[in-house]
Amino acid sequence: MGEVAAIADRIRNLIRSHPSFSEETPVEGAWVAATSAWSVNEHMAVMAREDGGLMVLVAKVDHAGFGAESGAHPIPMSARGFGGWIHVDAHGLASDGALAKWVQRGIDFAQTLPRIDDF
């Protein structure tokens, strides 16, 4: 199994019982090469990267601190956004506990955002 399939399967196993999660195919952009993405209440929370890493959306207040952790790299944020993305290298996700921690951070932040239908 390739790195992409492995990380995606590990994420699916973690979020299988979460009622508000949905899996999507992300829009590719210059800053991310993701193959699968998961949203909570219609807000992107995590994306599996082609290199076996993960992109996680976190609150603006947590962006610098989480981005300073081992294996994590903060993506520069827009001044007008609620939060920002962090790229976590594959080696930073080697244990199931590490992956679960990062996925939960994405879930926690996405759940704070208003539903798209509420706009």
DSSP 1-51: --HHHHHHHHHHHHHTT-TTEEEEPPPPBTTB-EEEEEEETTEEEEEEETT
Number of Cβ within 10 Å of residue 26's Cβ equals 18
Residue 29 has pLDDT above 50, yes or no: yes
Residue 105 has pLDDT above 70, yes or no: yes
Residue 79 has pLDDT above 80, yes or no: no
- Residue 110: CATH number of its domain: 3.90.1150.30
Token digits of residue 102: 């990062």
- Provide the domain limits for residue 14: 3-118
Residue 56 has pLDDT above 50, yes or no: yes
pLDDT band for 6, please (50, 70, 90 cuts): confident
Confidence (pTM): 0.84
User: Count of domains in the chain?
Assistant: 1
